[in-house]
Structure 1
Amino acid sequence: MINCQKLFRSNFLVLLFILGSINVTKAQSKEDRLREISKEVGIPGMQIAYAKGSKMQVYTHGTKRFDTADAVDKHTRFQAASLTKVVAAYTFFRLLDKGVIELDKPLLSYYSYDRLTNTTGAEKITARMVLTHRTGLLNWEGDVPSATWRATPLTLQFEPGTDYMYSGEGFYFLQETLEHITKKSFQALVEEEVLQPLGLKYSNIVWNDTLESNAAYGHYSLEKPRRLGKYAKTNAAYTLYTTAEDYTKFVQKVFFEGFGLKKSTHNLLLERSAEAKKGKEIDPTDKHVPCALISRMQINEKGTAYWHTGSNPGFRCFFITYPATKETLVAFMNTDEGFPAMKKIMQLLLDNKQTFWAYDWRLGELD
């Protein structure tokens, strides 16, 4: 007589083995595809985090510097480039909630920024305009971050508040304003308002030498490494060193929970606040990527997501997050040629039955 209980148990164990094998195969296939993407695009090293709810998967591939065996790991520090601006915006809102600064009060009424002393119309610039890139200031005016750049007077390309132009100069103006009001360095503000409260142990807003042992080198292209980038002066627009895992934690706590913010402030920073423009004239695709006060938005078939890209010399990176599904994807790549991988990575790790305007709008470029 057949022992039904034993047979059932045996078949059940076989089923568990098959299901486990399928899961392992899926995990391997994503890692294999990421390696293929890295090879297709020519990326020396990359670090990617995908999270849904409380579960996170970190993928690493390649090396910190081409032609070495020094592998990227989950704690390797990458330059976050313009993803720094999102951290700077959150720092601003933390101080807004404390009554330190207002969103729509002209910044020059707080601080006489010497680079705008003789710039007619600059007295209209507010924090809201900085956060939505409507100051009229160029991205950079001069050889940032040299002393000559810091001494270069700023010009306006249009009346503040009347048009869109992506601007790192605006964020640096806001940084110095906050430093003047609080009598603290921007480094101290970010550490006190962001890094420490959120427990971001693998993030620094400026270079220090303890990072050197596990820092990624930037590259011109696959086989052409740059010098190790060491930003000694904090800049709200681009000097964050971090990991994909740490940055994902930041995004989830801020965008999903409004950590450390009043509920009304959390709602405010996620609202559609201004329109973006691909070029001088309005483009039909601009409507898909308006500005929130903390980042860009993506409006497509799946609803609303928030995103930002970053481009420092030798680095390309991005994040995109979906509040409705509690999904976040963060990717860091250590080459100037990394952006063609952006859409491929989103298609692999997210629902690919959607238009990724975060990439398609300007092929990943924001500035």
Structure 2
Amino acid sequence: MPKVFSRRQFLNHSRKAFVSLSAFSLVSLYRNRSVFCADKIIAHLEAQVPALMEAELIPGLGLAIIQNGELFWTRGFGVRNRYTKKPVGDNTIFAAASLNKPLFAYAVLKLVEQGKLDLDAPLSKYTAKPYISDARIQLINIRKVLSHTSGFPNWSGNNPLSIKFPPGTKFSYSGEGYLYLQKVVQDITQQPIDEYLRQQILAPLEMNSSSLVWRTAYQSIASDGHDRKGKPIPMSQPKRGSAAGSLRTTATDYAKFLIAMMGSGKVDSPILTQDSLEEMLRSQIKINQFLDWGLGWGLERLEGNKFFWHWGDLGTFKSFTIASRELKTGIVIFTNSQNGLKICPKIVSQAIGGKHPAFNFSMIDY
């Protein structure tokens, strides 16, 4: 008589099967030109990701995988809203949260290339009056903001903004630093940050579904967020752009940005030059044995390979991306759940291989 699994037993069995194939990543299969095996891995992802999602009460997920510097595979899983059951598709809009930060850093480095900003000049040089009264504001520059060594807290809330430690002396993740730099960029370009990024980065990279402010068109294609118990919570609709986290986008669109990170251009093109990309991915501050921070990106060393990565957390939307410029591979994962990051390590391991130290970063809330 065939063995009958309970729902819980089936989900546990599926998770074990998913992990068992982690050694056979698409990276290794692509190198061996094993199209048949790659198709099997994709089929396995299509079968097992829904089981992982169901086990963690994650209603919807958007996934994009890059191989050889090209979009290899993209897929929407689950639903945009637990109750309406409208499916996640390739055009489903997610809140990217802090995945906005590397995109903004990229745009800032383009201004540096053009000679409009200096990485190491005090940001106060570009403002009509000091951002705050603390004299140490003179020590804060672009490099310190993008590497999270500015001395600012993550968020000041209702308290007056203050510098918590001497700028440049240690790592402390800060959204406030990005808002300071956003003000400088807006003053230099004489444009709101959402319009500047649209013209200089999003449109040239054909990230046509992406915006730092809400679009009316999103109403019919945006996902809702969900709390830990699966209760739907509508996505916020930003009216003003924030360099720290207002990006609304799709997994496919964000993959186009990762692909740009793997190439190089000229000063007068939308793509950063080789020198700028190398500076962006150069360690600015060491975090631990495996992790550093560059300009906008977290940096990871794994088995002789270098990866750049970031996570996003808007409460009921969680996201993760990691890629390698040298290996020309990467992955984007967007979820519409407060539980979303719980399954990202398994998906990343399956798609690009390895157990990544980035998932041990202290600020990631599973």
Q: 1:134 to 1:21 in 2, by over 3 A?
A: closer
Residues 55, 90 of structure 1: CA spacing in aligned structure 2 closer, same or farther, 3 A cutoff? closer
- For the 8 Å contact 1:179–1:185, the answer to whether it is kept is yes
Q: 1:321-360 alignment to 2 at 5 Å?
A: 321-351=323-353, 354-360=354-360
1:339–1:363 CA contact under 8 A, matched in 2: no
- Answer whether contact 2:230 2:337 (CA < 8 A) is retained: no
Partner amino acid, structure 2, of 1:314? T
1:192-203 map, 5 Å: 192-203=199-210
Q: Does 1:132 align with 2:108?
A: no
Give per-residue Cα distances to partners, 1:294-338, cap 9 Å, x unaligned: 301111114100000000121100100012221110000111121
Residue 52 of structure 2 is aligned to residue 41 of structure 1: no
Query: 1:168 & 1:126 partners in 2: Cα distance?
Result: 15
Q: Distance in 1 between matches of 2:38 and 2:145?
A: 46
Aligned partner of 1:294 among 252, 277, 296: 296
Instruction: Describe the shift of the 1:23–1:107 C-alpha distance in structure 2 as closer, same or farther (beyond 3 A).
Output: closer
Give the number of the structure whose alpha-carbon radius of gyration is greater: 1
In 2, Cα distance between equivalents of 1:29 and 1:222: 27
Equivalent position to 2:282, from 271, 279, 282? 271
Contact 1:358–1:364 (8 Å) recurs in 2: no
Deviation at 1:360, TM superposition (A): 2.5
Give distance in 2, aligned partners of 1:158 and 1:64. Answer: 42
Task: Kindly indicate whether the alpha-carbon contact (under 8 Å) linking 1:301 and 1:355 is maintained by their aligned counterparts in 2.
Answer: no
Following TM superposition, by how much is the alpha carbon of 1:255 offset from its aligned partner in structure 2, in angstroms?
Answer: 3.4
| Structure 2: segments with no counterpart, 5+ residues | 1-33
Whole-angstrom CA distance in 2 between matches of 1:69 and 1:163: 46
Partner of 1:48, secondary structure, is: strand
- How far does residue 269 in structure 1 lie from its aligned partner after superposition? 1.3
- Per-residue Cα deviation, 1:7-63 (whole angstroms, up to 9, x for no partner): xxxxxxxxxxxx998775543221111111111222010001111022421121111
TM-score, structure 1 as length reference = 0.84
Identity %: 27
**2:345 aligns to what SS in structure 1?**
helix
Aligned mates of 1:71, 1:204 — CA distance in 2: 22
1:190 aligns with 2:197: yes
How far residue 112 of structure 1 moved from its aligned partner, in angstroms, is: 4.4
- Please give the residue correspondences for 1:200-219 in structure 2 after superposition, counting only pairs within 5 Å: 200-219=207-226
Is 1:93 paired with 2:104? no
Alignment equivalent of 1:65, drawn from 78, 81, 84: 81
Any conservation in 1 of the 2:255–2:331 contact (CA below 8 Å)? yes
Check 1:25–1:287 CA distance in 2 against 1; reply closer, same or farther (3 A cut).
Answer: closer
Change (3 A) 1:338 1:23: closer
CA offset at residue 275 of structure 1? 1.8
Stretches of structure 1 that go unaligned for 5 or more consecutive residues are 1-18, 143-148, 277-285
Instruction: Identify if the C-alpha distance between structure 1 residues 220 and 133 changes in structure 2 by more than 3 Å, giving closer, same or farther.
Output: same
Residue type of the alignment partner of 1:84? N
Which deviates more, 261-270 or 312-321? Answer: 261-270
* Cα distance per residue 1:243-271 (max 9 Å; x no partner): 11110111111233356223322221121
1:9 paired residue number: none
Q: Quote the Cα distance in structure 1 between the aligned partners of 2:363 and 2:49.
A: 19
Listed one character per residue, the Cα deviations across residues 58-80 of structure 1 (whole Å, up to 9, x for unaligned) are 12111111122211101001011
For residue 37 of structure 1, give the secondary structure of its aligned residue in structure 2.
helix
CA displacement 1:333-357 (0-9 Å, x = unmatched): 1111211111111122122xx3311
The answer to whether the Cα contact below 8 Å between 1:218 and 1:315 also exists between their aligned partners in 2 is yes
SS across alignment from 1:51: strand
Further displaced range: 126-135 or 297-306: 297-306
Matches within 5 A, 1:138-287: 138-142=153-157, 153-257=160-264, 260-276=271-287, 286-287=288-289
Q: Which residue of 1 aligns with 2:9?
A: none
Amino acid at match of 1:236: A
Rounded Cα–Cα distance in structure 1 between residues aligned with 2:38 and 2:331: 20
Whether the 8 Å contact between 1:66 and 1:222 is mirrored in structure 2 is no
> d(CA) in 1 for partners of 2:113 and 2:37?
49
For 2:66, the aligned partner's letter is A
Letter in 2 for 1:37: L
Matched position secondary structure for 1:204: coil
Alignment-mate amino acid for residue 294 of structure 2: A
Distance (Å, rounded) in 2 between the aligned partners of 1:229 and 1:213:
14
Q: How many residues align?
A: 328
| Among candidates 124, 127, 134, match of residue 108 of structure 1 | 124
8 Å contact kept, 2:64–2:71 = no
Cα-to-partner distance string for 1:187-232 (whole Å, 9 max, x where unaligned)? 1210111011111111112112221110011111242111231111
CA distance in 1, matches of 2:36, 2:205: 37
Q: Following the alignment from structure 2 to structure 1, what is the Cα–Cα distance between the partners of residues 237 and 290?
A: 36
Normalization by structure 2: what TM-score?
Answer: 0.85
| Residue number in structure 2 paired with 1:314 | 316
Cα distance in structure 2, aligned partners of 1:27 and 1:184: 43
